[in-house]
């Protein structure tokens, strides 16, 4: 007997309440999720009245509702008329950072305190619909601790890939340049010269990093450097990338400036973060090499509207005025040129949980709503190296599922208010 002859929406609602009361632990029992409309990011299609069968943490099958019989006493979550899609993937965030404290304000916090920020921010990010996250840069391996606690079931948060401390040159964007010499402050990822850089990569891998992040150019929120100026020579970048790849770690390069972007691509990085001032040659190189761009084009708005009130330095605000609109224009230009792009928004610059605000800007600057969703699902999964586990609602994949109340293909801003979140078969938001 078809599903809708077995269970009314009223009964389904009772079962949902029961489910949310007890949670799901990943046990080997069946759970059904009925999707009024399933957004298929692989085929660009909307599939009506689908039933997703989940066993434990993973999806077992996906069927038309009319073609499936629900097992007696099975649990059913009926999402009614909601639009259902895979859990979202965020590729550039800093969960152990806090948007309220920048510049000198940020110096007051210890690594243990930053780790506790991460506990709160991980849940905010998960509740925003981002069930998988790549954390790119954290002091003292605080993101490693956060990942391990989530994996152990001790705290709630997205599944994580983490970089530990970001590598960079002495005095560069990834260093701490806020204090004078007598304090002797040096960030944990600083190394100069090819062999010292190789040693630092080995150290970061030793202490639990899933990927390597480094600074190829200056940045906006650092003190005393040029936002577009190259940091690290080609020889240094090549040594870093070769060492990381030897240890089967992908490499993300923070790079705003055109020359630093091109040098990093030639050195073999897997992704360019920010890519604000990428030029035509850089776009061609990225396309030729299959290098992903991860461009955080929402946070320009937050920086210029709120940066001064949260401790951002005057020079940082001036840098953002220089590059913010150029980055957005280059996002459109690179995408239209066929460069691979994935979702990353630089959480901690703006408040965690507001990640979905970036979708609007991705659509404004070149993408269709479906392409923006694909950047945060199948393309992000590809860059992570997790294309067989996350990014689609497919048998064998993790049961990472989110839903919104209206069609995001008509209005992408609905992604700012995700109403249902499931990660690995467990409901976190309903």
Query: b vs e for 8-33, b when ≥16 Cβ sit within 10 Å of the residue's Cβ?
Result: eeeebeebbeebeeeebeeeeeebbb
Chain centre to alpha carbon of residue 10: 36
CB-based contact 237:264 (threshold 8 Å): yes
Count Cβ atoms below 10 Å from residue 429 Cβ, excluding itself.
17
What's the length of the chain?
A: 430
Among 247, 232, 159, 154, which residue's Cα sits nearest to residue 199? Answer: 247
Spot the catalytic one: 213, 250, 262, 423. 213
Greatest distance between any 2 Cα atoms in the chain: 77
End-to-end CA, the chain:
28
Strands ordered across the beta sheet of 130-135 = 88-93, 130-135, 159-162
Catalytic: 250?
no
Placement of tokens 């007598």 in the chain: 182
Catalytic: 124?
no
Whole-number Å distance between alpha carbons of 412 and 366:
13
Do the bridges between strand 426-429 and strand 420-423 make them parallel or antiparallel, or are there none, so unpaired?
antiparallel
Whole-number Å distance between alpha carbons of 418 and 128:
6
Spot the catalytic one: 78, 98, 210, 346. 346
CB-based contact 191:197 (threshold 8 Å): yes
Chain centre to alpha carbon of residue 342: 9
Per DSSP, the residues of 124-168 read HHHHTTEEEEEE---GGGHHHHHHHHHHTTSS---EEEE--SPBB
Chain centre to alpha carbon of residue 388: 17
Per DSSP, the residues of 188-207 read TTB--SHHHHHHHHHHHHHT
Catalytic positions: 213, 346
């Amino acid at each position: 007997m078809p599903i809708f002859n077995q269970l009314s929406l009223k009964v389904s609602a009772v079962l949902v309440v029961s489910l949310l009361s007890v949670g799901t632990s990943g046990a080997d029992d069946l759970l059904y999720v009925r999707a009024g409309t399933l957004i298929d990011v692989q085929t660009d299609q909307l599939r009506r009245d689908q039933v997703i069968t989940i066993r434990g943490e993973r999806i077992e099958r996906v069927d038309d509702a009319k073609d499936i019989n629900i097992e007696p006493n099975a649990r059913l979550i009926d999402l009614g008329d909601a639009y259902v899609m895979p859990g979202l993937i965020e590729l550039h965030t800093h969960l152990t950072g806090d948007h309220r404290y920048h510049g000198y304000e940020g110096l007051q916090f210890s690594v243990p305190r930053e780790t506790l920020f991460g506990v709160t921010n991980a849940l905010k990010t998960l509740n925003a619909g981002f069930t998988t996250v790549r954390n790119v840069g954290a002091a003292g391996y605080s993101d490693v601790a956060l990942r391990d606690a989530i994996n152990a079931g001790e705290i709630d948060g997205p599944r994580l890939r983490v970089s530990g401390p970001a590598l960079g040159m002495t005095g560069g964007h990834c260093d701490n340049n806020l204090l004078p010499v007598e304090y002797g402050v040096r960030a944990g990822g600083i190394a100069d010269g090819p062999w010292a850089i190789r040693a630092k990569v080995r150290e970061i891998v030793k202490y639990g990093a899933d990927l390597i992040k480094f600074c190829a150019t200056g940045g906006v929120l650092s003190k005393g450097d040029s936002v577009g100026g190259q940091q690290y020579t080609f020889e240094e970048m090549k040594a870093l990338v070769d060492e990381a790849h030897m240890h089967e770690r992908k490499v993300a390069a923070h790079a705003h400036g055109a020359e630093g972007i091109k040098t990093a691509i030639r050195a073999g990085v897997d992704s360019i973060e920010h890519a604000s001032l990428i030029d035509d040659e850089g776009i061609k190189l990225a396309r030729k090499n299959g290098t992903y761009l991860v461009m955080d084009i929402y946070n320009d708005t937050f920086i210029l509207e709120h940066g001064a009130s949260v401790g951002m330095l005057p020079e940082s605000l001036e840098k953002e005025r220089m590059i913010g609109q150029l980055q957005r224009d280059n996002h459109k230009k690179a995408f239209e040129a066929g460069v691979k792009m994935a979702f990353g928004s630089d959480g901690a610059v703006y408040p965690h949980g507001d990640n979905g605000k970036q979708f609007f800007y991705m659509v404004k600057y070149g993408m269709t709503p479906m392409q923006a969703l694909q950047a945060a699902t199948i393309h992000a999964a590809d860059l992570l190296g997790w294309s067989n586990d996350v990014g689609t609602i497919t048998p064998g994949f993790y049961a990472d599922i989110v839903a919104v109340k209206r069609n995001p293909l008509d209005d992408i801003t609905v992604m700012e208010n995700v109403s249902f979140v499931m990660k690995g078969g467990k409901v976190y938001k309903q």
